[in-house]
């Protein structure tokens, strides 16, 4: 179990990236959903001991993460948002080097580890190709391979499917699901579908704060009866925004489908719809933006 209590982080320039983050994460896939700039990467780096929080505590089982960072790193697998590689180094040689850095130095054990991991992420057939020449999806699978060195009990993946095509994204999904049954995996992303498809539990992070937490199905259930939709002309959108709390819009055949949040029937031709996780997410963000908008006004 990963437990965070009152975690805060303020950068030297005064930016408050994390603001009292408190949550518990058990085994399996946990989705951390939030827009760009919400503080997701700051939180992932903090958990991964790459930066020290301004305040708060983090425990993983009996490990005090802030007091024993080396102990946490021995059981951590981390795939950052930007995963750099050495140019012209083959997948096999680079992974072999990383296995050595993780402390697996006996030649036989190291060889077995490298071969097992490359097969697990379906990269064995391209093991002699330079990782710098891999496609985005192949590079992400290599990133997962290095994150799995040493059979970690905590795995952090930060925006892992950004830029992947649908086929590579599905491969990545399947790999994460296979891995995630017996370890804690935190999937940090701004892509709602990633969380909806993979994670039995999730949280929404906005402006450095946890605004919502629970099972996606339960959160969707809570939104029932509050999401209304209407198809309008594009030039009507400003009028709708001025009279209703718009949570999302999308274009369809040149017209705009608008979703609004309301406890009561908003009238004006709006129809009640079965909300999804995207509606839950967008309504949560709309709720968190209200105080800032009011303050600015």
- Enumerate the domain spans of the chain: 2-214, 221-296
- Its CATH architecture, for the domain 2-214, is 3-Layer(aba) Sandwich (3.40)
- Whole-angstrom distance, CA of residue 195 vs CA of residue 198: 5
- Whole-angstrom distance, CA of residue 92 vs CA of residue 140: 15
Tokens encoding 83: 């995963």
- Whole-angstrom distance, CA of residue 56 vs CA of residue 199: 26
90-99 per-position pLDDT tens digit: 999 999 999 9
187-199 per-position pLDDT tens digit: 998 888 888 888 9
Per-residue pLDDT, averaged over 102-130, amounts to: 91
Instruction: Collapse the DSSP code of 39 into the 3-class scheme (helix H, G, I; strand E, B; otherwise coil) and give the result.
Output: coil
Residue 90's alpha-carbon distances to 97, 102, 174, in angstroms, are 11, 18, 25
- Whole-angstrom distance, CA of residue 95 vs CA of residue 105: 13
What local confidence, expressed as pLDDT, does residue 196 receive? 87
pTM across the whole model: 0.85
Is 146 within 8 Å of 99 (Cβ atoms)? no
Q: What are the backbone dihedrals phi and psi of residue 154, each rounded to the nearest 5 degrees, phi first?
A: -130, 125
Per-residue pLDDT, averaged over 227-235, amounts to: 90
Is 22 within 8 Å of 5 (Cβ atoms)? yes
Q: Helix 136-147 and helix 91-101: axis angle, to 10°? A: 30
């Amino acid at each position: 179990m990963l437990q965070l209590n009152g975690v805060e982080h303020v950068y030297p320039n005064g930016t408050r990236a994390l603001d009292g983050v408190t949550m518990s994460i058990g085994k399996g896939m946990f989705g951390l959903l939030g827009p760009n700039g919400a503080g997701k990467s700051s939180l992932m780096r903090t958990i991964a001991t790459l930066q020290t929080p301004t305040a708060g505590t983090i425990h993983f089982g009996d490990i005090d993460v802030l007091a024993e960072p080396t102990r946490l790193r021995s059981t951590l697998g981390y795939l950052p948002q930007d995963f750099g590689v050495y140019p012209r180094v083959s997948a096999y040689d680079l992974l072999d080097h990383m296995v050595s850095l993780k402390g697996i130095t006996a030649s036989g054990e190291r060889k077995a580890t490298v071969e097992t991991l490359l097969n697990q992420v379906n990269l064995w057939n391209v093991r002699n190709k330079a990782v710098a020449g891999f496609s985005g999806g192949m590079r992400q699978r290599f990133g997962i391979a290095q994150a799995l060195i040493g059979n970690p009990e905590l795995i952090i993946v930060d925006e892992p499917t950004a830029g992947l095509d649908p086929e590579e994204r599905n491969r990545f999904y399947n790999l994460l699901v296979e891995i995630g049954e017996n370890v804690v995996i935190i999937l940090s992303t701004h892509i709602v579908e990633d969380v909806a498809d993979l994670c039995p539990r999730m949280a929404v992070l906005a402006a450095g704060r946890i605004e919502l937490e629970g099972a996606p199905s339960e959160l969707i259930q809570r939104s029932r009866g509050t999401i209304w939709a209407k198809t309008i002309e594009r030039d009507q959108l400003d009028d709708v925004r001025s009279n209703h709390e718009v949570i999302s819009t999308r274009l369809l055949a040149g017209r705009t489908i608008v979703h609004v949040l309301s406890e009561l029937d908003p009238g004006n031709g709006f129809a009640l719809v079965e909300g999804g996780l995207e509606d839950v997410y967008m309504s949560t963000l709309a709720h968190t933006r209200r105080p800032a908008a009011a303050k600015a006004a």
